[in-house]
Chains A and B, each alone.
Chain A
Amino acid sequence: MKILVAVKRVIDYAVKVRVKPNKSGVETSNVKMSMNPFCEIALEEALRIRESGAAKEVVAVTVGPAQCADTLRTALAMGADRAVHVDAGAAPVLPLSVAKILRALVQVEQPGLLILGKQAIDDDCNQTGQMVAGLLKWPQGTFASKVVLDKEKQVATVEREVDGGLETLCLDLPAVITTDLRLNQPRYATLPNIMKAKSKVIKKVTPEELNVEIKSDLEVVQVTEPPKRKAGVIISSVDELIDKLKNEVVSCNILNCK
């Protein structure tokens, strides 16, 4: 079985993000970029499944401009067997377009499993995995915190973190899984693997070759920083609290707070 892992190149999680002066977006030039942390977890899970013998090949794929090849090199250094780079130009590609591209790739590669991170830390969309599953009409197990594959029965048992606790799903393969924080701890790319990765293949494809039209129906109008938190006030007595509630708080759903 082949596993396809979709990874995204995002601003490194440790970078202090700044908004561009013209408010059109965040500053990305000269800013450190890395693989999305949830994508690392997805890749790690794919590698573990391959190491357990349930899969033969792990293929990493990314959608983005030329620099995204770095992310694929990291994936190869972590242990992916080969990679596919869908060069869609410099403009950001929205989840639905990514989902359509992944659908096209799935039809080419025919994997038994498509694993993605649950969301990217730059846009926090949490959409791509669900959309691909919908387009492919495949079962989906999102926010996975545990994945167990049964090779014989071709079934994946996925434990999901949901608001009420943990939900266990049984998915017939092929399926889409998106990974959550506690699923695993990704491995480092060790030096021998970094050296081995140099000889692994990164295949370049364009959306046109996959017959996917990328169109964006969303226009980013403005990006601003969230308003700075105002300092709180320490209240000295219950009377003072009541006074403030009556006079200073215009609308507040205190009674509805969970």
Chain B
Amino acid sequence: MQRFSAVRRVAAFLQNRSRQRASFSTSLLFDDTQKQFKESVYQFAQETIAPHAATIDATNSFPKDVNLWKLMGDFNLHGITAPEEYGGLGIGYLYHCIAMEEISRASGSVGLSYGAHSNLCINQLVRHGSSAQKQKYLPKLISGEHVGALAMSEPNAGSDVVSMKCKADRVDGGYVMNGNKMWCTNGPVAQTLVVYAKTDVSAGSKGITAFIIEKGMPGFSTAQKLDKLGMRGSDTCELVFENCFVPEENILGAVGKGVYVMMSGLDLERLVLAAGPLGLMQACLDAVIPYVRQREQFGHPIGEFQFIQGKLADMYTSLQSSRAFVYSVARDCDNGKIDRKDCAGVILLAAEKATQVALQAIQCLGGNGYVNEYPAGRLLRDAKLFEIGAGTSEIRRMIIGRELFKQD
């Protein structure tokens, strides 16, 4: 895969227009290969995705002239946790988190869509799909030709997702689905969607089944794209099912076992998405540090004033501590130790820190931070999402507290 702007990079250097960035020691977190990978994805994301970030936010859509999904697929980013036989790399959650961090650093919206596609959809198919299902859906999802999504929440079932009303009634050869899903990331563009519905409304959580839905299935449509505060461009919409027939072979996992698919998937979703706020925090520091070196007031760069240095310190320690937590849990998950409260814990911490770091970034940039020409405002709006999606902070706290209470 060719890098189209390496020539421009060297030319840019020669003209002394250096792309400023703050890079911090991560020597204890990664081995040499992981560091190489991080650097590689960083270069790819900065050259391919970052130039579009502001426009994606302003126009609330992905760029039309480049196919980011395909480019990320060419760079082997979608199937990091998928088996090689389907085009994946099968190298685990740590690498997936690294990719998520660097993509989010370039653009929060692209990172979120990437996370929904590669983890919520692809990884769920990897973990629960039958061989036939994996063979049918994974190759195109991993190459980037198809986009994946996942839908569990409904207009009236967010945190209380188990109370979902979308139902799938048994008919000859499959199920007929009726209902609505809300806040589905990539919904407007996805070809393959993992959708949870109740096959037995009276059985509560044990009546949920996971299905694989394909775009174009009669009775399945998407309603208008949502106009969001942040993560603009990461297309999100409502899904509408009106007597949508879903064949038997599209059941993901087993009938009535959907809640297990969903909850165990949520643990890993939280882990991988936790790398999103890490990227956003890093992007904040990338913007702030050069600024406070250049901006002068009272005859000094503002970075020499203690209040600003205090903010830098807080932002830095928030990022580094969150990073240490996320990657150590990622390592555990790769070793088979998936701890529900740790997975909830990493995204709880990283998301809340990211919002605070973004607020401080705006403050460091002062009036310029308030102007949309600078990225700080978008970083704040993007960061806030992570306190809500994949289980709100309140739900995460409840999960952790409950797990600690149960444990002896």
**A residues near B, CB below 8 A?**
13-16, 32, 37-38, 40-41, 70, 73-74, 77, 121, 181-182, 185-192, 194-195, 198
Contact = CB atoms under 8 A, between A and B. Distances in A.
Given A187-B2, A189-B36, A14 B19 contact: yes
Contact of A194 (B2, B3, B18, B36): B36
B66 interface: no
Given A121-B13, A188-B43, A194-B40, A14 B21 contact: yes
Contact of A182 (B3, B7, B19, B80): B7
Contacts of B43: 188
Given A189-B40, A198-B33, 17 more contacts: A14-B13, A37-B6, A41-B6, A121-B13, A182-B7, A185-B2, A185-B3, A186-B6, A187-B2, A189-B36, A190-B1, A192-B76, A192-B89, A194-B36, A194-B37, A195-B89, A195-B91
Nearest to B98: A191
A187 B5 CA distance: 10
14 contacts: A14-B21, A37-B6, A37-B13, A38-B10, A73-B36, A181-B11, A186-B3, A187-B2, A188-B40, A189-B36, A191-B80, A192-B89, A194-B36, A194-B40
Contacts of B9: 13, 37
A26 to B, nearest CB: 14
Contacts of B37: 191, 194
A186 to B, nearest CB: 5
A126 to B, nearest CB: 13
Contacts of B40: 77, 188-191, 194
Contact of A188 (B1, B7, B18): B1
B95 A191 contact: yes
Interface in B22-50: 23, 32-33, 36-37, 40-41, 43-44
A70 B91 CA distance: 22
Nearest to A76: B36
Interface in B52-97: 75-77, 80, 89, 91, 95
A37 B3 CA distance: 13
Contacts of A70: 32
Given A194-B37, A194-B40, A195-B91, A13 B1 contact: no
A20 to B, nearest CB: 18
Nearest to A38: B10
B202 interface: no
B18 A15 contact: yes
Given A13-B10, A37-B13, A182-B7, A187 B95 contact: no
Nearest to B19: A14
B298 interface: no
Contacts of B3: 185-188
Among A13, A181, A185, A191, find the residue whose CB has the most chain B CB atoms closer than 10 A.
A191
Contacts of B297: none
Nearest to B32: A73
Nearest to B293: A16
B405 interface: no
Given A15-B18, A77-B36, A189-B36, A37 B10 contact: yes
Contacts of B91: 191, 195
A182 B9 CA distance: 12
- The list of the 4 closest CB pairs from A to B, nearest first, reads A13-B13, A37-B10, A14-B19, A185-B6
B23 A181 contact: no
Nearest to B23: A32
B13 A187 contact: no
B131 interface: no
A190 B18 contact: no
A74 B36 contact: yes
Nearest to A183: B7
Among A13, A73, A121, A190, find the residue whose CB has the most chain B CB atoms closer than 10 A.
A190
Contact of B76 (A14, A40, A121, A191): A191
Contacts of A188: 1, 3, 40, 43-44, 75
Nearest to B21: A14
Contact of A181 (B2, B10, B95): B10
B19 A194 contact: no
Interface in B220-239: none
A155 B2 CA distance: 27
Contacts of B2: 185, 187
B4 A185 contact: yes
A77 B18 CA distance: 25
B1 to A, nearest CB: 6
B20 interface: yes
Contacts of A38: 10
A40 B6 contact: yes
Among B6, B32, B75, find the residue whose CB has the most chain A CB atoms closer than 10 A.
B6
Nearest to A69: B32
Contacts of B32: 70, 73
A190 B36 contact: no
Contacts of B23: 32
B42 to A, nearest CB: 11
A191 B33 CA distance: 9
Among B23, B41, B77, find the residue whose CB has the most chain A CB atoms closer than 10 A.
B23
Contacts of A77: 36, 40
A16 B13 contact: no
Nearest to B18: A14
Nearest to A182: B7
B262 to A, nearest CB: 29
Contacts of B20: 14, 16
A188 B76 CA distance: 12
Given A13-B9, A14-B18, A194 B1 contact: no
Among A14, A74, A198, find the residue whose CB has the most chain B CB atoms closer than 10 A.
A14
A32 B91 CA distance: 27
Nearest to B75: A190
A230 to B, nearest CB: 17
